[in-house]
């Protein structure tokens, strides 16, 4: 992990750029997969699952018997933890469901907005070295609160054709029954186009590797809605001299173990804090089962010493991190300086892992700088907003002349006439 001390502005700007991922053949490969699934349906999908996941799948849909068997394979401790996390996530996301008021904008003119659920949504859950069953909670719960009619879940099987028990347990807890054995770009294609077995959806959610991300990006160009632009996971920590180096090192590693392409960043005005944290980082790294992955991520990462905490916030807002931790003596004092971040963690005990699993906030967040313009997933992500208006006689008399004047100024006379004809009939 590199260290920079008060670098010039050009270096600071360069540090805000994420590490480049080698994608020479990525787009062509993903386009081939999309085309195969679109034209070939289930047979093509099964062939790709065999080729890419090394699993020979006859039935793409997970059976009720498989779901039932998974319930017995999850330990009571894990089951209880998942249930507690689900309750917290449900409580936080339910608070987002606020009824909007009907507004009288002018006498006799009434406008309002209504949230309408997206009918069919798809959830992608990675199932490789880290089966992300927690993401089912993060996506399934707000989808259910939004009252989406159909929830499709795709996740890759192991080489024996089985789905990780914790994934099936969590899906069953949320009453998600449409679960399919397919991973990677081929799963995204199946949900986007539909196959004989997997229904077509209108919006796709969920993290994944660069193939999954590229598939979602390409399909978005064809009109498919996706959750948010995604890239490798990241965390940025702003710490002062009062922070605990062991805590900070643990938080950096918790994000680094996501993948070799993850990036973790430490900002501080204290050289001593940075030195102590990097020492703790080396010690904690040695005991991690995913040591090689975390170490690779650290090679993409850095510590940055700046003159002030205010300068640290300037850099953070420019970088726009997915996760932002304020390991500061008085974090609430600085919260108003945050302009760009996916999710923020205040204080020494608010570890990023809490947001990943059980505090209640959503862990599906904008990465790669998209926090400058995008929010994380919420109940609203599963809805579309439809506006309504009703205008009575008083209303059209009141705003009619306004509409006529503006329409005529834009040379849209048919627009003007739509009002004029009504006003004439009212005056008869």
Catalytic residues: 322-323
User: DSSP for 42-83?
Assistant: HHHHHHHHHHHH----S--BPPHHHHHHHHHHS-HHHHHHHH
Residues in the chain: 428
Angle CA(81)–CA(247)–CA(320) in degrees, nearest 5? 90
| Residues 172 and 67: beta-carbon distance below 8 Å | yes
Distance CA 335, CA 343 (A): 12
Distance CA 96, CA 316 (A): 27
Q: What backbone torsions phi and psi does residue 232 show, to the nearest 5 degrees?
A: -60, 150
* CA distances from residue 8 to 16, 67, 357 in whole angstroms, order as listed: 13, 56, 38
Distance CA 13, CA 19 (A): 13
| Residues 273 and 240: beta-carbon distance below 8 Å | yes
Helices (H) and strands (E) in the chain, counts: 16, 14
| Residues 289 and 253: beta-carbon distance below 8 Å | no
- 180's enclosing H/E stretch is strand 179-181
Taking Cα atoms as reference points, which of 228, 279, 231, 271 lies closest to residue 252? 279
Angle at which helix 26-53 crosses helix 184-193, to 10 degrees, equals 100
């Amino acid at each position: 992990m590199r260290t920079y001390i008060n670098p010039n502005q050009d270096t600071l700007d360069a540090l805000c750029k994420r590490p480049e991922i080698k994608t020479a053949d990525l787009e062509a490969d993903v386009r081939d997969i999309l085309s195969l699934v679109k034209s070939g349906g289930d047979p093509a999908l099964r062939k790709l699952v065999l080729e890419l996941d090394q699993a020979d799948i006859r039935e793409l849909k997970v059976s009720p018997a498989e779901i039932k068997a998974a319930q017995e394979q999850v330990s009571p401790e894990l089951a209880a933890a998942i249930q507690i996390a689900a309750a917290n996530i449900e409580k936080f996301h339910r608070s987002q469901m606020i009824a909007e008021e009907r507004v009288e904008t002018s006498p006799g003119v009434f406008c309002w907005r209504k949230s309408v659920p997206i009918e069919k949504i798809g959830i992608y859950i990675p199932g490789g070295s880290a089966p992300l069953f927690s993401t089912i909670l993060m996506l399934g719960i707000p989808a259910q609160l939004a009252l989406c009619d159909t929830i499709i879940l795709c996740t890759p099987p192991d080489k024996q054709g089985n789905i990780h028990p914790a994934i099936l347990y969590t899906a069953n807890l949320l009453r998600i029954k449409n679960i399919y054995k397919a991973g990677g770009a081929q799963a995204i294609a199946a949900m986007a186009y539909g196959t004989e077995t997997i229904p077509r959806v209108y919006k796709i959610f969920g993290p994944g590797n660069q193939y999954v991300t590229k598939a979602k990006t390409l399909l978005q160009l064809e009109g498919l809605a996706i959750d948010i632009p995604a890239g490798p996971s990241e965390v940025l920590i702003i710490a002062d001299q009062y922070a605990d180096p062991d805590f900070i090192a643990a938080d950096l590693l918790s994000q680094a173990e996501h993948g070799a392409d993850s990036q973790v960043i430490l900002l501080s005005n204290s050289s001593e804090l940075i030195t102590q944290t990097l020492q703790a980082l080396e010690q904690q790294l040695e005991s991690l089962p995913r040591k090689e992955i975390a170490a690779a991520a650290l090679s993409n990462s850095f510590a940055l010493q700046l003159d002030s905490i205010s300068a640290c916030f300037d850099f953070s807002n420019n970088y726009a991190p997915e996760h932002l931790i304020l390991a500061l003596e008085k974090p609430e004092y600085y919260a108003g300086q945050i302009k760009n971040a996916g999710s923020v963690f205040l204080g020494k005990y608010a570890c990023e892992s809490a947001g990943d699993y059980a505090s209640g906030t959503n862990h599906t967040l904008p990465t790669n700088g998209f926090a400058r313009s995008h929010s994380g997933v919420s109940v609203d992500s599963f809805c579309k907003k439809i506006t309504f208006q009703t205008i009575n006689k008083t209303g059209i008399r009141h705003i009619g002349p306004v509409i006529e004047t503006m329409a005529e100024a834009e040379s849209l006379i048919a627009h003007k006439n739509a009002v004029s004809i009504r006003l004439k009939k009212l005056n008869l």
